[in-house]
Structure 1
């Protein structure tokens, strides 16, 4: 099967990003017009590749934690014994959206200190809502015929959850995770204001030295990562949907 042009384009963007992270000096002529007074063209206060990997690690840890908690809460409130906790669960997951990440950082620093920890707390709280709401939607909109059939063959509640409900709800849950990751990729940049190692360091260094080249480098890396990861998770979501028979095979 031939690769479609968009797929080739995505691969090309990924390769270009990797080359830039490994050999940023090769791109110096592209960014030179954005500098002045003989300022450095390429970010030179650390490794762009290392910062990118640390940025991704922070987002991955926070998203994993948010996914576990949000899905567990969604499962709880969709069981007969946990329905009454739905309002409380919604209030909890809305905390991250109610308080701006900067405010969460300010509150977290006195408790856990500077570095990655306050950033993880902010991203964790900020990522709960979309995953919880999508998980709730996925688990409450299953075809009744499917769940009735599962009961009819003698499946226990846990068997229905693990073998029927979660697999069928997975595409919708993944859509929430995709949204959460995309939001947190950009939000993680503010972690550098509390000494976390993220790509925000590059942007902040550019703002402090009035170096637009640094700002653009940090912003472009975050933007490209967001697009590629969003696209990759969308492909996984579509694949699972086709496997579950939720979409027509192309």
Structure 2
């Protein structure tokens, strides 16, 4: 029973999140004590469900782009012809971690305008490092016996990459993606400062009107999403690890 408790708790958390997004008014009595008299307890400047879906869309689009580029770079620098590009690649993927997301937004707005685009750029740059480093670590620490067996079987470089290296590296790569998504879920909230449609709108509205209920709603939705997605990707990582027989 104890082993199932985390699963049950996560299931309840998901049910509560869906119920709140579909019918936030039902939770008004719980949030009413947090607001001043006559102030709204439930965010009323837009749909919480729409903002959540747009928030997730922005995060997943940026993460998908970061995953493709980071994995391609890691593959490049682990090939003999691309090894010399490792320092340059590391410098590139570290840009997002070196510059705060707010600074990236400030630099991106003059180039691409307000809205979702600068937020995508900031999240893309911020998400590169964990995926690149995890993929690089996985590809450079594959079992030597397996690689030698693949060469002995007459596999070409491309066949070894597609049939041996990448499949064996998947659990570690998923761990990097998990970290990138979790970071981006929280970071995406600042996109609302440049008119992107994210849950940051709810938090900003709460700060501007001194409405603690708004702030709590935006923060809790982001937090619950982060927990559920983190756990989901962790489960995928464990499943891949078991299937590949990695200890």
Output the CA distance in 1 between the equivalents of 2:123 and 2:141.
28
Aligned to 2:230: 230
Aligned to 2:104: 104
The equivalences for 1:10-159 within 5 A come to 10-159=10-159
Q: Per-residue deviation at 1:2?
A: 11
1:127-155 Cα offsets, whole Å, 9 max, x none, are 00000000000000000000000000000
Aligned to 1:220: 220
Q: Which runs of 5+ in 2 are unaligned?
A: none
Equivalenced residues, count:
247
Indicate the SS of the match to 1:37. Answer: coil
Q: Per-residue deviation at 1:27?
A: 0.4
Output the CA distance in 1 between the equivalents of 2:2 and 2:224.
25
Output the CA distance in 1 between the equivalents of 2:96 and 2:57.
20
Output the CA distance in 2 between the equivalents of 1:242 and 1:188.
33
Output the CA distance in 2 between the equivalents of 1:7 and 1:97.
33
Indicate the SS of the match to 1:246. Answer: coil
Q: Per-residue deviation at 1:37?
A: 2.9
CA RMSD of aligned residues (A): 1.1
TM-score by length of 2: 0.99
Output the CA distance in 2 between the equivalents of 1:151 and 1:65.
32
Output the CA distance in 2 between the equivalents of 1:116 and 1:126.
15
Q: Per-residue deviation at 1:5?
A: 1.6
Q: Per-residue deviation at 1:19?
A: 0.3
Output the CA distance in 1 between the equivalents of 2:151 and 2:236.
29
The equivalences for 1:236-247 within 5 A come to 236-247=236-247
Output the CA distance in 2 between the equivalents of 1:177 and 1:238.
14
Q: Per-residue deviation at 1:116?
A: 0.1
Q: Which runs of 5+ in 1 are unaligned?
A: none
The equivalences for 1:1-16 within 5 A come to 4-16=4-16
Range that drifts further, 33-42 or 195-204: 33-42
Output the CA distance in 2 between the equivalents of 1:148 and 1:38.
72
Q: Per-residue deviation at 1:85?
A: 0.1
Aligned to 2:185: 185
Q: Per-residue deviation at 1:3?
A: 7.7
